[in-house]
Structure 1
Amino acid sequence: MAKERSHTEKTSAGDKSIGFDYQYYYFLHRILNLGVGQSAGLEIKDDVHTQLDADFNILYQVKHTVQTDASGAPVALTELDADLWKTLYNWSKVISDEVEGREKVLAQLDFVNKTEFHLVSNKSQRDSNKFLRLIIDFQDGGVKFKELIDHFNGLTTKDEDIKKYIDTVATLAIEVKKKFFENIRFELELDDIIARVKRSIRETFVDEKKIDYVFERLDSSISSDNFMAVKNDMTLLVSFEDFTQRYGKIFDEARTKKLVYYPFIPKIPDDIFAQTFVKRLIDIGDLSFGDVEDAVEYTTFKLRLSRHLDIWVQIGDLVQTEVVKFHSDAALRWKNEFKGTFRNCDTEAKILDAANELLKILRRQNFILDETTLDLELSNGELYLLTDDKRIGWHRDWKQHD
């Protein structure tokens, strides 16, 4: 028995939000499965649609529920389910849309012959839904159309909305209904839609350990494109060619041996000025205690570098010996510059000038890790990480400052 929910729970923004997200991620799944010459749209011809060629479309009505049964699983799609009948109602209105020139039966038949209608939901499928079972059996040749249509004609309900939906489907001509019912498909029990998207990414020959990287970048890019489309009163339509041109680089980078970057927001320490590297930068006048913004930025660089090294080792892109060598190479670069920097520095002012020059030189360098040239943020982060580890310093007498 489904858990009863309060009116507030039924109308919560969270329920609506997850429904929109479910629809969006199903759209993402669909565009990942496009072929040459095909396209997919979000909220254009339906919740989601794909155009397989100039003459054939698939319309998707995407329905998500947060209601669960006694076992905690999403509730079943019942025979008189509002989601089921509102979906069939919407499709019936599309089929007979006079604005699209389909007021005549022949035009409606032409349309349904070139269209599939998919109901996608996380709701479960049960044998107790006789109407759904009869549609599937009719399509498989297990029952005659008469048995299906007789059951359809005998459906009754006290719910006025559902009654209106059923009555609208009933207004379709019998030959249109027959072809319509032949072309309805049910994709039920699709609960973990993000897992489905990631499986689609894996099936594009992306290494399993880089699936999350591709998913996060693709999700961010397409979400931004959809936001801009809505903002400009447009719709998001993506063809196979668009997809490869606009997002193909994400997959190309994931398939190379180059290390890939992962987005994350680091947790900044409560006392950023207590960090060793910050103290050493203050020693030479590169930072002061009032430079909070710069101190936070440099700390972010350090934490990004540290986090990426951990991720790359965890997922197997690097082994620990390569990380050790990377640190040693960076420290050697510092040492080579350090040795000559402080020659002829006989005053504290000259020492500080030389220290800042040394820092400037190394901040401009991109370090290389396992054939990947790191960006300046991560390269600078390595300098700050090594400073924290007390392997390098900036003042000539930096070891005496610890």
Structure 2
Amino acid sequence: MPASKTQQATSAADTSIGFDYQFYHFFLLLLDLRHGEEIGIEQKDDVHVDLADGSQLLIQTKHTVQQNAAGESINLTERDKDLWKTLSNWSKVIAEQSDAKAFLLKTTFQLATNKQAIKNPFILKLIQLQNGDIKTKDFKDYLKELAKGTTDEGIKTYIEAFKALPADQLAGFAKKISFELNHDDLISQIKKRLLEKIHIRERVEDVYRNLHSELRDTNYLNVKAGVRNVISFEGFNKKFGKCFKVAISTKLPIRDLPYILPDNPEHQLFVRQLIDIGDISAASKDAIIAYTTQMLQLLNNLKDWEDNGDFLDSDRRKFNRETAFIQQTAFKTSYRRIRAKLEGGTGPDELDDDIKDSALSLLDDMRRQILQFDETQLSLELSHGHFYLLTEEKEIGWHLDWQKRY
């Protein structure tokens, strides 16, 4: 059912994406920190960066979901409300300083937005002032006419607050204003920055997920505890450095990957073997699906590692041999007494129950095994999945005569 007009009007989506935009901008700049620098979110401004030389960058982030006819973000216009509200807020901050001149010398102001600015007259005037092409008086006269030309009292108030700064402060402020326009698709930019740091494309997603999760949790918990959300270069390395370890470790990333169940999972070879020894019945649909899922998750992770170049064919063969050796060694132990009875003349039919009991005991023993390849330790479910996969591939079996039977 579509949302009503009232629901659409009161939707928090626009506000939510604004906070997300702020977070991702913070995330991106965090990756550029250098020694002696620190970054904060919702502290001195939406985002701020304190540089090693004592200067600071104050950043306001503004995101719009509005689009033009071409499907692009709308323009940052000459009388854009976000623009003038931001400049007004910064003007108030300057006016509150005990030494506004010193504050302006060490501060740069940046508006980061996904809006575009095609021939914005205000930005053109600002650049002229910054380049010395016009005087402060000319700039103030322009602002006066700009305020007169709007019927929006809110925007007019914002322009007046900006224009009200003393001429020397207005000139100093105007020269320190910069824009990050059409600044969008921040997630892709973050991942590109991570690639520049770790140089292993296949591990970017893993590092990104680790960092994203830790940063989100840290920001939330800091706000909840009343702790300043500020991170120094050294603090970032100490607290979040472990998020990069996945890029340098030989430990393989284990992922929850999509899979497609076969149409008739009960026809799989490994399932037929488990049915034959009495572990499950053909009617045990839930168990068959669970076991098949474990096998497919293991198989998909193996393929994922191979596709990403983390796992060679020789690694796959080595891993299979090691797992098969564990099962085959236990297989010999489980059937030692039964083999002795068969060699002594006891018929196989007489030992059928004993054979199934031994097979089940062997299976239970293997289900307690936690498999490992180099530094990568599998979960219990994936360990089960590898035994099932090797059974499906006829590398191992559970019944004493599995090779003849299958």
Contact 1:275 1:388 in 2 (8 A): no
Distance 2:6 2:59 in 1: 29
Residue 14 (str. 1) matches residue 10 (str. 2): no
Contact 2:59 2:111 in 1 (8 A): yes
**Paired residue secondary structure (1:219):** helix
Distance 2:273 2:91 in 1: 72
Change (3 A) 1:148 1:385: farther
The equivalent of 1:27 in structure 2 is: 26
Question: What are the ranges of 5 or more consecutive residues in structure 2 without an aligned counterpart?
Answer: 342-350
Distance 1:283 1:236 in 2: 61
The equivalent of 2:100 in structure 1 is: 108
**Paired residue secondary structure (1:28):** helix
Contact 1:206 1:251 in 2 (8 A): no
Distance 2:290 2:102 in 1: 62
Displacement of 1:111: 2.0
Displacement of 1:74: 0.9
Matches within 5 A, 1:200-239: 200-239=193-232
Displacement of 1:254: 0.1
**Paired residue secondary structure (1:34):** coil
Which amino acid is the alignment partner of residue 137 of structure 1? Q
Matches within 5 A, 1:328-343: 328-343=321-336
Contact 1:268 1:299 in 2 (8 A): no
**Paired residue secondary structure (1:394):** coil
The equivalent of 2:118 in structure 1 is: 126
Which amino acid is the alignment partner of residue 147 of structure 1? D
The equivalent of 2:139 in structure 1 is: 148
Contact 1:48 1:60 in 2 (8 A): yes
The equivalent of 1:316 in structure 2 is: 309
Change (3 A) 1:287 1:170: farther
The equivalent of 1:383 in structure 2 is: 387
Displacement of 1:312: 1.7
**Paired residue secondary structure (2:231):** strand
Distance 1:251 1:155 in 2: 50
Contact 1:259 1:317 in 2 (8 A): no
Distance 2:109 2:84 in 1: 13
The equivalent of 2:371 in structure 1 is: 366
Distance 1:401 1:14 in 2: 61
> TM-score if structure 1 supplies the norm length?
0.82
Matches within 5 A, 1:2-401: 9=8, 11-53=10-52, 55-97=54-96, 102=97, 106-127=98-119, 129-156=120-147, 157-256=150-249, 258-264=250-256, 266=258, 269=261, 274=266, 276=268, 301-345=294-338, 351=355, 354-359=358-363, 361-362=365-366, 363-368=368-373, 371-377=374-380, 378-398=382-402
Displacement of 1:216: 1.5
Displacement of 1:163: 1.3
CA RMSD of aligned residues (A): 3.2
Displacement of 1:324: 4.2
Distance 2:35 2:264 in 1: 53
Distance 1:202 1:215 in 2: 10
Which moves more between the two structures, 313-322 or 113-122? 313-322
Change (3 A) 1:326 1:234: same
Contact 2:265 2:289 in 1 (8 A): no
> TM-score if structure 2 supplies the norm length?
0.82
Change (3 A) 1:337 1:80: same
**Which has the larger Rg?**
2
Contact 1:50 1:58 in 2 (8 A): yes
Contact 1:37 1:52 in 2 (8 A): yes
Distance 1:296 1:240 in 2: 49
The equivalent of 1:3 in structure 2 is: none
Contact 1:272 1:299 in 2 (8 A): no
Which moves more between the two structures, 268-277 or 353-362? 268-277
Which amino acid is the alignment partner of residue 107 of structure 2? T
User: Deviation digits for residues 58-78 of structure 1, max 9, x if unmatched?
Assistant: 111111111111221111111
Distance 1:228 1:275 in 2: 51
Displacement of 1:228: 2.2
Change (3 A) 1:235 1:331: same
Distance 1:275 1:143 in 2: 83
User: Deviation digits for residues 71-102 of structure 1, max 9, x if unmatched?
Assistant: 211111111001111111222222234xxxx2
Distance 1:309 1:227 in 2: 36
Which moves more between the two structures, 342-351 or 162-171? 342-351
Question: What are the ranges of 5 or more consecutive residues in structure 1 without an aligned counterpart?
Answer: 1-5
Displacement of 1:208: 2.0
Sequence identity percentage: 38
Displacement of 1:38: 1.3
The equivalent of 2:345 in structure 1 is: none
Which amino acid is the alignment partner of residue 130 of structure 2? Q
Distance 1:225 1:298 in 2: 38
